[in-house]
Amino acid sequence: MSTSSNDDDGDGVYKSHEGEHHGNHHHILVKVTKSTVIFALCAALNSCNLGYDIGVSTNAASIIQRDLGLTDIQRELFVGSLNFWSIFGSFFSHYICDACGRRRSFQVAAVTFIVGVVIMSSANGYAALMFGRSFVGIGVGFGLAIDPLYIAEITPAKYRGEFVSWSEIAINVGIVLGFLSGIVFYELDDNTQWRLMFAMGCILPVALIFLSQYGMAESPRWLVSKGRIEEAKEVLRKIYPKDFDINPVAQDIHEGLERDKTAEAAVGWKMILFPAPAMKRMLIVGVGIAVSQQSVGIDAIQYYLLDVLAESGIQSQKGQLGFLILLGVLKLIFVIIGSKLMDTRGRKQMLFISLIGACRYTTFLTSNRAFVILLLQFESSCDY
């Protein structure tokens, strides 16, 4: 957030001198209400599901391999299949979000995730394990597509950058919780340990189902798209201060939806496949950032952290788990710092710093002091 246009009123509520009025910006005092914060926190909880699965899979993958007698390839397919199945969840999320609404979509994602966790926790063979993994992946992909969409639609424009970043923070909170599960169930035998570690993952989606039903409001944009204007205005009254005129905001949403419909009707396959030069550059940058975010290898490193730490000289299982938690906390701290700097330092500068750091430290990951470089790898990757 820009310090030149924002200040704190002393009660933890942010202020902005930016208002929306039929597409124009007026210097009207706008606060982020407690309702907005609550709605965004509830939505971000959905991202914890992915983080927890990453964290718990890091701990449990080797245990499952020993308990079920899996080969190295089967283990690799198990941890890597999450990203594959997430593609399908992300692909169909648009249709379900528009048909059922954002709140119901959270519930669908949570139920899908729970089904997958239950199947995995009770699996007695590799086929059942992978079957459950497919549900978890679909639920994760579906949920990750909803979070930023919902948060952006219930947050005043001035603060969308920071609030949408809460989804990334929540992922890393989930990772830390997944890492902690290794300590909690450390004394149990292999067969019981990994099953309980995964089963604990049901807590977050169950809480999300309850919160989405009783603690979250529906997206005003979705309500307007369905002609439920008065309901949308009721939600807007919750996310804007009491003295703020929400009628122009509702009108802006309606006009924006109409413009979207006109644009969709005018866009054909030729424009999609052969975009204008300016749009092509935007697509290259956007897709390029998404690809580079994964190509630094942070997901693969996270899934095999215990193996990397063992190769780096940390042989004690408790030592590995302790170092794992340290890494998770470190990454979480820097993600929070990155989210705070996003609106003050700018997206481009933060992206360049992260890219340079990721390139530099990934190069040295094969050194004999790999466990030290891992700290720097997590630090440099967090600004994405």
My answer on whether 366 and 340 are in the same domain is: no
pLDDT of residue 316: 77
Q: 174 lies in a domain?
A: yes
| Same-domain status, 60 and 92 | yes
Average pLDDT over residues 8-35: 50
Residues 319 and 370 in one domain: no
pLDDT the model gives residue 320: 79
**pLDDT averaged over the chain?**
80
pLDDT value for 4: 38
Encode the chain in three state secondary structure.
Answer: CCCCCEEECCCCCEEECCEEECCEEECCCEECCHHHHHHHHHHHHHHHHHHHHHHHHHHHHHHHHHHHCCCHHHHHHHHHHHHHHHHHHHHHHHHHHHHHCHHHHHHHHHHHHHHHHHHHHCCCCHHHHHHHHHHHHHHHHHHHHHHHHHHHHCCCHHHHHHHHCHHHHHHHHHHHHHHHHHHHCCCCCHHHHHHHHHHHHHHHHHHHHHHHHHCCCCCHHHHHHCCCHHHHHHHHHHHCCCCCCCHHHHHHHHHHHHHHHHHHHHCCHHHHHCCCHHHHHHHHHHHHHHHHHHHCCHHHHHHCHHHHHHHCCCCCHHHHHHHHHHHHHHHHHHHHHHHHHHHHHCHHHHHHHHHHHHHHHHHCCCCCCHHHHHHHHHHHHCCC
pLDDT band at residue 25 using 50, 70 and 90 as cut-offs? very low
Same structural domain, 179 and 63: yes
Among 51-65, 139-153, 158-172, 282-296, the least confident range: 282-296
What pLDDT, in 10s, does the model give residues 308-322?
A: 777 777 777 778 788
Quote the pLDDT of residue 111: 95
pLDDT, position 78? 93
Q: Please determine, for residue 22, whether its predicted confidence score (pLDDT) is greater than 50.
A: no
Task: For residue 225, count other CB atoms closer than 10 A to its CB.
Answer: 18
Q: Percent of the chain beyond pLDDT 90?
A: 28
Region 109-127: what's the mean pLDDT? 94
Both 321 and 361 in one domain: the answer is no
Task: Please indicate, yes or no, whether residues 230 and 332 belong to a single structural domain of this protein.
Answer: yes
Q: Of 239-253, 269-283, 335-349, where does the model show the most confidence?
A: 239-253
| CATH number of the domain that residue 303 is part of | 1.20.1250.20
Range of the domain at 263: 34-270+296-345
Local confidence band at 134 (pLDDT 50, 70, 90 cut-offs): very high
| Number of independent structural domains in the chain | 2
Among 4-8, 162-166, 265-269, the least confident range: 4-8
How many CA within 13 A on the CB side of residue 165? 19
Compute the average pLDDT of residues 202-209.
92
Residue at 88 is within a domain: yes
- Whether residues 330 and 370 fall in one domain: no
175 and 197 housed in the same domain: yes
Same domain? For 230 and 145 the reply is yes
Q: How far is CA 372 from the centre of its chain?
A: 27
Does residue 341 lie in a domain region?
yes
Do residues 131 and 181 share a domain? yes
* Residue 27, in any domain of the structure: no
Does 63 share its domain with 86? yes
Q: Does 329 lie in the same domain as 266?
A: yes
Q: What pLDDT score was predicted for residue 267?
A: 66
Give domain status of residue 281, yes or no: no
330 within domain boundaries: yes
The separation between CA 200 and the C-alpha centre of its own chain, rounded to angstroms, equals 19
**Tokens linked to 192:** 């019981």
Q: Is residue 339 part of a domain?
A: yes
User: How far are the Cα atoms of 89, 276, 288, 353, 383 from residue 282, in angstroms, in the given order?
Assistant: 25, 10, 10, 20, 20
Q: Is residue 243 part of a domain?
A: yes
Q: What is the pLDDT of residue 200?
A: 93
Question: Between residues 135 and 13, which one has the greater pLDDT?
Answer: 135
**Per-residue pLDDT reduced to its tens digit, 227-240:** 899 999 999 988 88
